[in-house]
Amino acid sequence: MKAYKCLILLVLILVISGCSSWGVKPWERDLLAQQKMQLIAEPVEMGLDDHIYFSKEGSSGGRSFGGGGCGCN
Amino acid sequence: MTKKLDKSKAPLGSTLAAIGCALLQGLPNQVQAGELEKWDVDAAVLVYSESDSRVQAAEPVISATRNFDSETKLNLKLVLDTLTGASPNGALPSDQPQTFTRPSGNGSYTTDAGEIPLDDTFRDTRVAASADWSAPVNRDWAYSVGGHFSSEHDYLSLGTNASLSRYLNQKNTTLTLAGGLSLDTISPEGGLPVGLSPMAEKGAASFSSDFAASRSGSEDDKQVTDLLLGVTQVINRRTLMQFNYSLNLADGYLTDPYKLVSVLDQPGGTTQEYRYESRPDSRIKQALFGQVKYQLGSGDVADLSYRYQFDDWGLNSHTLEFKYRWDLGRHYLEPQVRWYTQSAVDFYQPYALESQVNAGLDEVTADYRLGDFDAWTLGIRYGYQVTEGQEAYTRLSLYQQTTGDFSSATTPASGDDIPDTTAVMWILGYKF
Amino acid sequence: MASPCELLMALPQERKKQAEQLAHLAAKEVWRIEKTYSRYRQDNLFTQLHRHPDQPQRVDAETARLLNFADQAWQLSEGLFDITSGILRQVWTFDGSDHLPSPDAVKALLPQVGWGKLNWQSDTPTAEGEVAGGWLTLPSGMELDFGGLGKEYAADRALGLMMQQLEAEQLPLSSQPGLLVNLGGDLACSGPADKGKPWRVGVESPAEEDQASLVLEISRGGMATSGDSRRYLIHQGKRYSHLLDPRTGWPLEDAPRSVTVAAPSCVQSGLVASLALLQGSGAKVFLQETGLKHWILE
């Protein structure tokens, strides 16, 4: 089961890197350069959320190394 | 060949900025110099309030980023977290009032009949600081290193992390490999409880020796190792995607030292005693995470993410989150919705039976956070661009967990007897 | 370059030597760009490009960047910004008189105007966005004109080279002295003269009667002015600006006399100012849409 999931990820990586029509020219990065288009657009908000969810739920992380570092109740 | 005019027009200002930069390739420019002169600060406070006078927290945070050039930066972050209120102690409600010894062994608290037992001893202040540095290695590679420190009266965490990124396809694809290591020390109030030992009863003549028998040492530790493999892909001018696979290994003391388990005489029967919970001393979590960001022609941004996490404790969870940032000139509104569901860990039961304990049960938790539940978060964020480079923002969100009945042949329980959380979160912040 | 040029540097007296070196570097760069792209020389890249019409010619990285910029500006302006429109000056002379060319003379030149008519193939940029060069095929009779962006480009380049030099001398961008390049009113500035004290620069006022200077404050970025006190025509009470609509070959009516724009770089300022004038009476709305700081003289 776990090996199977890893395989999916690998296939995804291959699909992504194999698709050359994706992507933009350097001068077309105007929109992507905006703060609101960053994957983590609001790091402070995300940090606060991660901390709450870390202390109230059985899962954490996945996006980056969010949460953790506390003995939360 | 005749060129065609592209009629799909981007916002003028941003397009101009992009083409101007390409023309002056390779030279430092005045824009960079301007951006570099200062720290970007984001200061916010979170007020978190659970219903039924449970946990109340206030969490001020200040994050400062210094950009040395477009790809080199240092981020420093300081978080203060003050917490008061009561938290479910793991025991089941009863038709009799229940008295619990405080974790410190000093004093006790009583829960009314029919109420979910809450330990009201919590009062804690946490201080956390972190520093992260990221910089390019050369044109194709970049790295980051960081460290964190977090301290409360019964918990200390020290950690470090690092990442290496490789750019491909004109930086349209980024592969990232990241790792982290955290060393945590737990020194619970009243010492470390012995897993599954009976809670000493305050009134009993043998309390002192009972309490001593339920403790072993004053502190323990755990190590958490994180590994993350990520791919970020630019799809087009408006669309960005990310996939991560992550592995989280925790080793050491993973039990919650303040959580109890009610021991009943029979399924749905009467509480006989309380024992301290006990969890395995290792946990391996794996997660798959995907995110898509898309900017609409209006400048609005849609952000969809999904996480599937599974671990060797038997917990599976799905998290789906959607945010839509609605641009209104200098203002924006961002509705947010998050749905979360998890299945219980294998050793979760709302209570234990005497027969199980006698048969040598060695791993059990009644902590609802490791049980089955669903959770919704609904929120809205509002931001206002005060001046160029300054933004005031606020966010209000509502968090609601719902727990169903626990169906099991040995330890069935009604969802009403299992705690869940309803909370209001309010963030107020300013960026400058 | 027939306009006064100056360099301002916020350096203490004892660093006079360094200032001289920087000035030398900047001046050399400005002259190099002028020499390379001037229409008035016979021995430069510009002339060479026009010597072989209808044939694909390899161009160097810098020219490729300029052509890419021109291409994007053309796209962005829906054909209004066009570096092939300089040829129209054969029939238009903006000398303040009321002498308009005949519509037929203008029409006869139009087939030789239009960026869309030439073939420009830029090399694929590297991950860093650098292009190594490209292939240009210039149909015979067509002419490129870098006059619309050359001076601005030179200002940005001169400033950038000085900043790079300071960086090479272990001076990080954040602690560099403020520098200002002024090429006849086209400005590029790396930082204020002193903390919180912007440079004050006199820009020639476009008002015809008094030649008093307009004093503008700039602490960082670029600034450029389009429109000119001496380059216009007045016909039957109408003022014609010297910027021509490449699609018709005629000037725009009701354009402001001059537009000054402050953008992150000088080329951007110059482009926006030109585009604004080309909007005619829509200049004001256009400038507001860009969100950039601007000054309009009606």
A-contacting residues in B 277-306 (Cβ below 8 Å): 285-289, 291, 293, 295, 301, 303, 305
Predicted confidence band at B8 (pLDDT cuts at 50, 70, 90)?
very low
Predicted confidence band at C231 (pLDDT cuts at 50, 70, 90)?
low
- Kindly tell me if the per-residue pLDDT of A21 is higher than 80: no
Q: What is the pLDDT of residue C218?
A: 82
- Kindly tell me if the per-residue pLDDT of A67 is higher than 80: no
**A50–chain B nearest CA distance, Å:** 12
Taking contacts as CB-CB distances below 8 angstroms, the residues of chain C near B2 are 116-117
Alpha helices in B269-382 (DSSP H): 354-358
Task: Measure Cα distances from B248 to A4, B163, B174, B364 in Å.
Answer: 18, 15, 22, 22
- Kindly tell me if the per-residue pLDDT of C9 is higher than 90: no
- Does any CB of chain B come closer than 8 Å to the CB of residue C293? no
Domain count for chain B, please give it. 1
- Kindly tell me if the per-residue pLDDT of B38 is higher than 80: no
Task: Measure Cα distances from B52 to A12, B55, B420, B424 in Å.
Answer: 46, 9, 11, 12
Give whichever of B4-8, B424-428, C98-102 has the largest mean pLDDT: B424-428
- Kindly tell me if the per-residue pLDDT of A2 is higher than 50: no
Task: Measure Cα distances from C6 to C20, C159, C188, C202 in Å.
Answer: 13, 12, 11, 11
CA-based radius of gyration for chain C: 20
Mutation target to probe the C interface, by most C beta carbons within 10 A, among B6, B15, B29, B32 is B29
Q: What is the pLDDT of residue A50?
A: 93
What burial letters (b/e) apply to B386-418, b meaning 16+ CB within 10 Å? Answer: eeeeebebebebebebebeebeeeebebeeebb
Q: How far apart are CA B9 and CA B17, in angstroms?
A: 14
Q: How many helices (DSSP H) and strands (DSSP E) are in chain C? A: 7, 15
- Does any CB of chain A come closer than 8 Å to the CB of residue C72? yes
Q: Scanning every residue of chain B, which has its alpha carbon at the shortest distance from the alpha carbon of C172? A: B68
- Tell me, yes or no, whether B210 lies in a domain: no
Q: Scanning every residue of chain A, which has its alpha carbon at the shortest distance from the alpha carbon of C72? A: A27
Q: Give the residue among B175, B211, B174, B312 at the shortest CA–CA distance from B254.
A: B312
- Does any CB of chain A come closer than 8 Å to the CB of residue C68? yes
Residues 6+ apart with CB under 8 A from C278: C77, C80, C81, C243, C245, C252, C255
Which amino acid would we find at residue B61?
A: V
CB contact under 8 A, A25 and C72: no
- Kindly tell me if the per-residue pLDDT of B311 is higher than 90: yes
- Tell me, yes or no, whether B214 lies in a domain: no
- Does any CB of chain B come closer than 8 Å to the CB of residue C217? no
Rounded to a whole number of angstroms, the distance between the first and last alpha carbons of chain B is 49
Token pair of B298, please? Answer: 């209006």
- Tell me, yes or no, whether B208 lies in a domain: no
Taking contacts as CB-CB distances below 8 angstroms, the residues of chain C near A24 are none
Question: Which stretches does DSSP call E strand in B237-315?
Answer: 239-252, 260-264, 271-276, 282-295, 301-311
Share the mean pLDDT of chain A: 72
Please report the DSSP string for B100-115 in residue order: EE-TTSS-EEEE-TTS
Q: How far apart are CA A38 and CA B64, in angstroms?
A: 17
Q: What is the pLDDT of residue C203?
A: 62
- Tell me, yes or no, whether B359 lies in a domain: yes
Taking contacts as CB-CB distances below 8 angstroms, the residues of chain A near B286 are 2, 5
Share the mean pLDDT of chain B: 90
**C97–chain B nearest CA distance, Å:** 35
Evaluate whether A5 touches B244 at the Cβ level (below 8 Å): no
Least confident of B85-99, B105-119, B329-343, C264-278: C264-278
One-letter-per-residue 3-state SS of A38-61? CCCCCHHHHHHHHHHHHHHCCCCC
Q: What is the pLDDT of residue A35?
A: 86
CB contact under 8 A, A52 and B287: no
- Kindly tell me if the per-residue pLDDT of B47 is higher than 90: yes
Which amino acid would we find at residue C268?
A: Q
pLDDT over 70 percentage in chain B: 91
Token pair of C43, please? Answer: 């021995």
CB contact under 8 A, B12 and C221: no
Residues 6+ apart with CB under 8 A from A1: none
CB contact under 8 A, A26 and C128: yes
Share the mean pLDDT of chain C: 82
Across the range A55-67, mean pLDDT stands at 82
Q: In what order do the strands lie in the sheet with C5-9?
A: C5-9, C179-183, C186-189, C221-226, C258-263, C293-297
pLDDT in tens, A37-58: 999 999 999 999 999 999 999 9
Predicted confidence band at B3 (pLDDT cuts at 50, 70, 90)?
very low
Q: Scanning every residue of chain A, which has its alpha carbon at the shortest distance from the alpha carbon of C65? A: A27
Q: Provide the residue range defining the domain that includes B421.
A: 10-25+39-97+104-189+224-251+278-431
Dihedral sign for Cα atoms in the order C256, C264, C286, B12: positive
pLDDT in tens, C184-230: 888 999 888 776 677 877 666 555 444 445 667 788 888 888 876 56
- Considering only CB atoms, B31 lies closest to which of C75, C76, C265, namely C265
Which amino acid would we find at residue C204?
A: E
Taking contacts as CB-CB distances below 8 angstroms, the residues of chain C near A25 are 125, 129
Taking contacts as CB-CB distances below 8 angstroms, the residues of chain A near B172 are 22-24
Mutation target to probe the C interface, by most C beta carbons within 10 A, among B15, B29, B30 is B30
**B38–chain C nearest CA distance, Å:** 8
Taking contacts as CB-CB distances below 8 angstroms, the residues of chain C near B170 are 125-127, 129
Across the range C17-26, mean pLDDT stands at 89
Q: Scanning every residue of chain C, which has its alpha carbon at the shortest distance from the alpha carbon of A26? A: C129
Task: Measure Cα distances from B262 to A44, B277, B364 in Å.
Answer: 39, 10, 11
pLDDT in tens, B320-370: 999 999 999 889 999 999 999 999 999 999 999 999 999 999 999 999 999
CB contact under 8 A, B244 and A63: yes
- Kindly tell me if the per-residue pLDDT of B30 is higher than 70: no
Q: What is the pLDDT of residue C125?
A: 78
Q: How far apart are CA B255 and CA B176, in angstroms?
A: 32
3-state secondary structure at position C289: helix
| Residue of C242 and C48 predicted with greater confidence | C48
- Kindly tell me if the per-residue pLDDT of C174 is higher than 80: no
CB contact under 8 A, B32 and C119: no
Evaluate whether B16 touches C271 at the Cβ level (below 8 Å): yes
- Does any CB of chain C come closer than 8 Å to the CB of residue A2? no
Across the range B233-243, mean pLDDT stands at 93
**B206–chain A nearest CA distance, Å:** 30
- Considering only CB atoms, B170 lies closest to which of A23, A45, A64, namely A23
Residues 6+ apart with CB under 8 A from C196: none
| Residue of B35 and B180 predicted with greater confidence | B180
| Residue of C10 and B8 predicted with greater confidence | C10
CB contact under 8 A, B305 and A73: no
Task: Measure Cα distances from A54 to A65, A66, B60, B398 in Å.
Answer: 11, 8, 18, 16
- Does any CB of chain C come closer than 8 Å to the CB of residue A56? no
- Does any CB of chain C come closer than 8 Å to the CB of residue A25? yes
Bridge partner residues of B320 (DSSP): B306, B339
Which of the other chains make 3 or more beta carbon contacts under 8 angstroms with chain C? A, B
**A68–chain C nearest CA distance, Å:** 35
Q: Scanning every residue of chain B, which has its alpha carbon at the shortest distance from the alpha carbon of C272? A: B16
Q: Give the residue among B360, B425, B430 at the shortest CA–CA distance from B396.
A: B425
Q: Give the residue among A72, A67, A15 at the shortest CA–CA distance from B285.
A: A67
- Kindly tell me if the per-residue pLDDT of B312 is higher than 70: yes
Q: Scanning every residue of chain B, which has its alpha carbon at the shortest distance from the alpha carbon of C166? A: B28
Evaluate whether C292 touches C263 at the Cβ level (below 8 Å): yes
B-contacting residues in C 36-75 (Cβ below 8 Å): 65-66, 68-69, 71-75
Q: What is the pLDDT of residue C242?
A: 73
Token pair of C162, please? Answer: 């000085």
CB C17: neighbour CB atoms within 10 A? 9
Rounded to a whole number of angstroms, the distance between the first and last alpha carbons of chain A is 33
Q: How far apart are CA B219 and CA B221, in angstroms?
A: 7
Q: How far apart are CA B354 and CA B336, in angstroms?
A: 46
Please report the DSSP string for C93-148 in residue order: --SSS--PPPHHHHHHHGGG--GGGSEEEEPPP-TTS----EEEE--TT----GGG
- Does any CB of chain B come closer than 8 Å to the CB of residue C288? no
- Considering only CB atoms, C128 lies closest to which of B3, B36, B139, namely B139
Mutation target to probe the C interface, by most C beta carbons within 10 A, among B23, B38, B67, B74 is B23
What's the DSSP call for residue C15? G
- Tell me, yes or no, whether B334 lies in a domain: yes
CB contact under 8 A, A27 and C128: no
Q: What is the pLDDT of residue B276?
A: 96
Rounded to a whole number of angstroms, the distance between the first and last alpha carbons of chain C is 27
Q: How far apart are CA C70 and CA C149, in angstroms?
A: 9
Residues 6+ apart with CB under 8 A from A22: A16, B169, B172, B233, B234, B235, B236
- Tell me, yes or no, whether B59 lies in a domain: yes
- Tell me, yes or no, whether B313 lies in a domain: yes
The CATH number given to whatever domain includes residue B16 is: 2.40.160.40
- Does any CB of chain A come closer than 8 Å to the CB of residue B418? no
pLDDT in tens, B368-379: 999 999 999 999
Q: What is the pLDDT of residue B13?
A: 59
pLDDT in tens, C57-83: 999 999 999 999 899 888 888 888 899
CB contact under 8 A, B150 and A57: no
**A23–chain C nearest CA distance, Å:** 11
What burial letters (b/e) apply to B235-244, b meaning 16+ CB within 10 Å? Answer: bebbbbbbbb
Across the range B278-289, mean pLDDT stands at 96
CB contact under 8 A, A65 and B178: yes
Mutation target to probe the A interface, by most A beta carbons within 10 A, among B177, B369, B373, B420 is B369
